[in-house]
Amino acid sequence: MAVREMRETILKVENLSVKLGKEIVIKNLSFDVRRGEILTIIGPNGAGKTTLLRALLGIIPHDGRLEWKERIKINYLPQRMSKEKFNFLPISIREFFRFKTRSEEKILRMLEEVGLKGDGNILKKNPSSFSSGQFQRMLLAWVLIDDPDVLLLDEPMSGIDIEGETTIYSLLKKFWKKRKLTVFLVTHDLNVVYGYSTNCLCINKIKSCFGRPKKILTSKSLQDVYGTRIKFYKHTHR
Amino acid sequence: MEQIIFGLVTIIFVSGVAGYLGSLMITKRMALVGGPLGHLALPGVALALIYRFGIFPGAMLSIGAGALLIWVFSLRTKLPLEALTAIVFASVVSIGFLFLPLEHAEQALIGDITQINFFDALLAIFLSTALFLIIRKIYPLVILSEISEDLAKSLLINVKKYTLIYLVSVALVTAMEVKFVGILLTAGLIAIPAAASRNFSRNLTQYSNLSLIFGILCSVSGFLLFRITNLPIGPLIILTSFILFLISLIFSR
- Give residue-wise pLDDT tens across range A159-173: 677 777 778 888 888
With an 8 Å Cβ cutoff, are B204 and A76 in contact?
no
What is the H or E stretch that residue A24 is in? Answer: strand A23-34
A90 CB neighbour count, 10 Å cutoff: 23
The mean of the pLDDT values for chain A is: 87
Distance set, CA A23 to CA A17, A28, A29 (Å): 11, 14, 16
- Give residue-wise pLDDT tens across range A102-111: 899 999 999 9
DSSP conformation class of B155:
T
Q: Is the dihedral of CA B11, B14, B20, B24 positive or negative?
A: negative
CA distance B2 to A189: 72
- Give residue-wise pLDDT tens across range A114-141: 989 877 789 999 999 998 888 989 999 9
Q: Do residues A83 and A135 lie in contact, with contact meaning Cβ atoms separated by under 8 Å? A: yes
Q: Is the pLDDT of residue A235 over 70?
A: no
**What domains does chain A contain, in order, with CATH numbers?**
3-226 (3.40.50.300)
Q: Is B155 on the interface with A (CB under 8 A)?
A: yes
Nearest CA in chain B to A84: B147
Pairing of strands A38-42, A63-68: unpaired
Q: Is B201 on the interface with A (CB under 8 A)?
A: yes
Report angle CA A185, A190, A196 to the nearest 5 degrees.
55
pLDDT of residue A209: 87
pLDDT of residue A159: 67
Q: Given its phi and psi angles, is residue B213 left (phi above 0), alpha (psi -120 to 50 degrees) or beta?
A: alpha
Q: Do residues A185 and A192 lie in contact, with contact meaning Cβ atoms separated by under 8 Å? A: yes
**What domains does chain B contain, in order, with CATH numbers?**
2-251 (1.10.3470.10)
pLDDT mean for each 10 residues of chain B (253 residues):
88 96 91 83 88 86 88 85 86 88 81 84 94 96 91 90 89 88 86 95 95 97 94 92 96 76
Q: Is B101 on the interface with A (CB under 8 A)?
A: no
Specify burial of residue B41 (Cβ count, 10 A radius: 0-12, 13-18, 19+).
Answer: buried
CB < 8 Å to B155, chain A: 99
Q: How close is the nearest chain B Cα to the Cα of A126, in Å?
A: 8
- Give residue-wise pLDDT tens across range A187-197: 988 888 888 89
First to last CA, chain B: 43
For A115, how many CA atoms within 13 A lie in the half-sphere containing its CB? 16
Q: Is the pLDDT of residue A238 over 50?
A: no
CB < 8 Å to A99, chain B: 140, 144, 155
Residues 21-40 of B with CB under 8 A from A: 27
Q: At what angle do helices A132-144 and A104-113 cross, to 10 degrees?
A: 130
In total, the C-beta contacts within 8 angstroms joining chain A to chain B are: 56
B87-113 burial code (b ≥16 CB/10 A, e <16): ebbeebbeebeeebeeeeeebbbbbbb
- Give residue-wise pLDDT tens across range A48-93: 999 999 999 999 999 999 999 998 999 999 987 878 888 888 999 9
With an 8 Å Cβ cutoff, are B154 and A95 in contact?
no
CA distance A161 to A141: 19
With an 8 Å Cβ cutoff, are A124 and B144 in contact?
no
pLDDT of residue B246: 96
Which among B138, B242, B177, B236 is positioned nearest to B40, based on CA atoms?
B177
Which among B13, B29, B34 is positioned nearest to B120, based on CA atoms?
B13
CA distance B195 to A115: 35
